[in-house]
Amino acid sequence: MKVDLVRIGNSKGIRIPKPVIEQCGLGDTVELEIKDKTIVISPAKARRSGWNEAFAAAAERGDEEPLWDERATDWDEREWRW
């Protein structure tokens, strides 16, 4: 299917026909990425999707190390207020 680029302010965009939106399951927000000079538009993932599975897998592995350095920094001592 060929579609024309349309001017949107200083940018350009395309109009995606409603049947295509429905067939692809797109909502108001989409994921946009470039792969080998090709634009890929896909449904946006829900925030924190997959977190439960990741936590369960980490627990099975016994991986309970924090993902950040828990030591206080100079900034923590000077700037942070509870």
Q: What is the pLDDT of residue 82?
A: 66
Residue 29 lies in a domain: yes
List Cβ neighbours of 24 (8 Å cut-off, separation of 6 or more): 41, 42, 43
User: Is 28 in contact with 21 (CB distance < 8 Å)?
Assistant: no
Residue 76 lies in a domain: no
User: Is 42 in contact with 25 (CB distance < 8 Å)?
Assistant: no
Instruction: Tell me the pLDDT band of 67, cut-offs 50, 70 and 90.
Output: low
Instruction: Read off the tokens for 46.
Output: 């829900």
Give the residue-averaged pLDDT of 19-38: 94
Residue 73 lies in a domain: no
pTM of the model: 0.54
Residue 5 structural domain: 1-66
Residue 71 lies in a domain: no
Query: How many domains are contained in the chain?
Result: 1
